[in-house]
Structure 1
Amino acid sequence: MSVPEKFEAIGVQDFDKWLEPKHFSYTPQAMRPEDVDIKIEACGICGSDIHAANGDWGRPYTPLAVGHEIIGEVVSVGEGVTRFKVGDRVGVGAQCDSCGKCSRCNQDREQCCKDMVGTYLGVYKETGLPTQGGYANYVRVNSRLAFKIPDSIDSVTAAPLLCGGITGFRPLMTAGVKKGTRVGVNGIGGIGHMVIMFAKALGAEVTAISRSDAKRELAKEIGADHYISTGEEGFSEKYCDSLDLVVNTGSSFSEGSINGILGLIRPFGSMIFITAPPSNENLVIAPFDLLLKSISIGGSGIGSPKDIEYMLDFVAKHQIKPWIETIDISEENVTTAWKRMVKGDVKFRFVLTGYDKYFK
């Protein structure tokens, strides 16, 4: 299959009118020996897409096509690529490039590379060209940041795993979650519901944490063993020392709720943040809440190629299926999906499909 010189995409033209994405075309960076071209068939809509599209994380360039939960078929490979062949079904997450030679890359920590390039909102160091994401007909990426999708995982299921999935799975790996570990998941949404599924598959006892009782039954349906509402008066004291680990997937960084949740954690436990609020918001904590129980607070962003490959095999083995709603890609449908996500009107992840129909 011949790959066009220009790729087509749907993206933000004006950050002040971000809910009016438009069709555009762009010239990708020149093919390098390590690159692959992927014809896209599905792409998850991640919460990061909303933050990027509305300017929460800055306004570096337009047009901007978001989307970093990409599934598609390899249609062209660089002369140095040995991992893939034309016709392979692969996925791409939130990272499309790294230097490949620094100590971080050599220790399987490519996501921490100083020259890490995001699949969108990124800029290639050598050329200064911006990256465009998966709301497009093709994407060109470094083959080290593409992943073979196991045959037992369908493309729609695989898409949200490539960012949301690995972002939620990595903290469980870091904490060594196993049978009997008491895991709390704060925020029962797109990532949170996957963390519950992963933790249960690892054998953990899982507590869903949310601001009200509204998602209590839903959390149990997903697989949570227990439920805590932070809106309940005295919740921190009532459930004190009940958790070894809290994975924070929620977007609320309010002082009261965060310090209350710290009270749920046992001595020498930890809280790991995987979400980033708008740039004008900061986390406020009481240091004594950490000191008196030797609690650790950390952050975790996506995962390395090795992490992602492990997660995909884990999902295939345990037949984990995120809750997904598909929607065919078009300017109108992207707007609809974004508006619904802002309202929290999706259980729990959108996946864009219908690429061949739109990008004819």
Structure 2
Amino acid sequence: MSTVTAYAAPAAKAPLERTTIERRAVGENDVQIDITFVGICHSDIHQVREGWGKAIFPMVPGHEIAGVVREVGPGVTKFKVGDRVGVGCMVDSCRVCDNCKAGLEQYCADGPVWTYNAVGKDGQPTYGGYSQKVVVDENYVVRIPDGLSLDVAAPLLCAGITTYSPLRRWNAGPGSKVAVVGLGGLGHLGVKIAHALGAEVTVLSQSLRKKGDGLRLGADQYRATSDPKTFEELAGRFDIILCTVSAPLDFAAYVSLLRTDGTMVNLGLPEEPVQIVLQSLFGNRRSMSSSGIGGIAETQEMLDFCAEHGVAAEIELIRADEINDAYERVLASDVRYRFVIDTATL
């Protein structure tokens, strides 16, 4: 066991505060990682505030972890001391169900062991990346290519794979038209990745306030959803709509923008129930779907793709003592486009 400094929420809706936690000793197949940077995901805020249901406290959030290998167990074959590595949203799974065998560990039949706010196979709570170190089984660690700086790579471990996986699943590429709803932490990477895949990309945002950024990041069009003409002029246009917002929408209006056999993929998870008008799907065999992160192999594929195509997160680097202020700014949409904590400031 080792004691490390971390930032934790002591109770639901409480401000995060500096504390210490215990990390397990390095086991046979474990990798101990010195965390250098960790992204702040909107889901961190949902869970700290119990927006998605009862949670485990004290909670150390953080599942966009980038760092350097400090120690490896005797059975580790994939990594060595000094390697640049990352850890995303999960740190274990059953490994034997059909989904795990297919590389879809995020859909493990028993449920994956999440990086934080979960209970590991040892019966102990998992603690996330707002900390100095983490110990993870090598099978749930990925390599960060040299072409990516660790600070801008960290958000790829959640926001990057969350957008990359559905774009690949629904065949975004040359000749396809993709719309990204919302230009935030997820959306800005969705634009970059869809553009790098060769798709025609349109951002759908409430206003044109971020239009310059959207076009710079790779969007071909940027349209305001507050303008009724947007829905009239873009009707039946898109093959894929990635919805990255965590708020209820007029889903029927967005579905009307899909071509025949088009799919709207929901990546944001509103805390309240939403309504879907089934008639909006009926006319052109349109689909409403969702997607959750990606498996370990696909996450590595995503990182390699991003390094090859120069795709990285747009970040604002902060000190650990700025975390609570950063949470409020995320809720106010006052970040362009991902906060990343410099863990040297813990």
Aligned to 1:188: 183
Q: CA deviation at 1:66?
A: 0.3
- Choose which of 314, 319, 327 in structure 2 pairs with 1:338: 327
Q: Distance in 2 between matches of 1:348 and 1:16?
A: 24
The answer to whether residue 256 in structure 2 is matched with residue 263 in structure 1 is yes
Segment drifting more, 57-66 vs 304-313: 57-66
Segment drifting more, 165-174 vs 102-111: 102-111
Report if aligned partners of 1:220, 1:226 keep a CA contact under 8 Å in 2: yes
Residues 115 and 242 of structure 1: CA distance in aligned 2, closer, same or farther (over 3 Å):
closer
- Choose which of 162, 165, 179 in structure 1 pairs with 2:160: 165
Aligned to 1:252: 247
- Choose which of 257, 275, 278 in structure 2 pairs with 1:284: 275
Report if aligned partners of 2:177, 2:199 keep a CA contact under 8 Å in 1: yes
Segment drifting more, 220-229 vs 47-56: 220-229
Unmatched runs of 5 consecutive residues or more in structure 2: none
The answer to whether residue 322 in structure 2 is matched with residue 322 in structure 1 is no
Aligned to 2:301: 310
CA offsets, 1:178-216, max 9 Å, x none? 112100001111110111111111111101001223223
State the secondary structure of the residue aligned to 2:300: helix
- Choose which of 3, 6, 18 in structure 2 pairs with 1:9: 6
Task: Number of aligned residue pairs: give it.
Answer: 345
Report if aligned partners of 1:241, 1:264 keep a CA contact under 8 Å in 2: yes
Aligned to 1:82: 77
Q: Distance in 1 between matches of 2:10 and 2:290?
A: 32
Segment drifting more, 30-39 vs 337-346: 30-39
State the secondary structure of the residue aligned to 1:191: helix
Aligned to 1:23: 18
State the secondary structure of the residue aligned to 1:237: helix
Q: Distance in 1 between matches of 2:64 and 2:46?
A: 15
CA offsets, 1:336-360, max 9 Å, x none? 211211111110011111x3343xx
State the secondary structure of the residue aligned to 1:172: helix
Aligned to 1:297: 288
Identity score, percent: 37
State the secondary structure of the residue aligned to 1:6: strand
CA offsets, 1:136-187, max 9 Å, x none? 0111112111111111111011101000110011110001111121000011
Q: Superposition RMSD on alpha carbons, in Å?
A: 1.5
Q: Distance in 1 between matches of 2:143 and 2:312?
A: 18
| TM, length-normalised to structure 1 | 0.92
Q: Distance in 2 between matches of 1:284 and 1:357?
A: 43
Letter of the aligned partner of 1:154 in structure 2? S
Report if aligned partners of 1:29, 1:129 keep a CA contact under 8 Å in 2: no
Report if aligned partners of 2:2, 2:24 keep a CA contact under 8 Å in 1: no
Q: Distance in 2 between matches of 1:259 and 1:283?
A: 12
- Choose which of 123, 137, 155 in structure 1 pairs with 2:132: 137
